[in-house]
Amino acid sequence: MRHILSLLLENESGALSRVSGLFSARGYNIESLTVAPTEDSSLSRMTVVTTGSDEVLEQITKQLNKLVDVVRVIDLTDGSHIERELMLVKVRAIAKDREEMKRIADIFRGRILDVTDKTYTIELTGTGAKLDAFFESLDQDAILETVRTGASGIGRGERILKV
């Protein structure tokens, strides 16, 4: 099953590699991993998307908590949450395809950030599943380049991850 783990970790050099090293050393999956500083400059917030059975997830959480640089760990998928990922896609847009590309981007609430006479660069945010769906609806030959940030997530309502 897919899980989104949110971590607060000490904003110290090496903290990221402690987490990524743990996943590779113990053979856990990483679907995506994102990290950036928070409003508290001593802390980074990391989001790791992983897959595994309940037992594996329990071990991942325990092992993460054991790392000295990891301050808190929660599994967002344990409760209601919001997941967002940003994607930039450069597509070929010539002649009659231009209108079709614009139309698909609109349907998915994408924004065209850059236009040339041959290409569009589309920005799209949403869940991983939504971004996947957008891909599938495109003519695969028209995709020139893509970049995705990996998922970020936050709990809904009163569910707050803070030190």
Partner 1 sequence: MTEGQIAELTGAEIVSRCLAEEQVEFLFGYPGGAVLPIYDELFKQDKVKHILVRHEQAGVHAADAYARATGRVGVALVTSGPGVTNAITGIATAHMDSVPMVILTGQVPTDKIGEDAFQEVDTVGITRPCVKHNILVRRAQDIAPAIKKAFHLAATGRPGPVVVDIPKDVTLNSTKYFYPKTVSLRSYNLVTRGHSGQIKKAVDLLMSAKRPMIYSGGGIIMGNASELLSQFVRALGYPCTNTLMGLGGFPATDPLYLGMLGMHGTYEANMAMQDCDVLLAIGARFDDRVIGNPEHFMAVDRKIIHVDVDPSSISKRVKIDVPIVGDVAEVLKAMLNCIDESKSSSVEVNVDAWWKQIGVWREKESSKFAVSDEVIKPQSVVQTLYELTKHDDVFVTSDVGQHQMWAAQYYKFDRPRRWINSGGLGTMGVGLPYAMGVQFAYPDATVACITGEASIQMCIQELSTAQQYSLPIKVITLNNRYLGMVRQWQEFFHGNRYSESYVDALPDFVKLAEAYGHVGMRIEKPSDVEGALKEALALKDRLVFMDFITDQEENVYPMIPGGKGLSEMILK
Give the three-class secondary structure for 129. Answer: helix
Residue number, 67 or 88, with CB nearest to partner 1: 67
Q: Let me know the angle formed at the C-alpha of 24 by 19 and 30, rounded to the nearest 5 degrees.
A: 75
Residue number, 13 or 140, with CB nearest to partner 1: 13
Minimum CB separation from partner 1 for residue 16, in Å? 12
The token pair at 135 is 């891909």
d(CA 64, CA 54): 15
d(CA 135, CA 60): 31
Residue number, 65 or 80, with CB nearest to partner 1: 65
List interacting residues with partner 1 (CB under 8 A): 9-10, 13-14, 17-18, 21, 25, 55, 58-59, 62-63, 65-72, 163
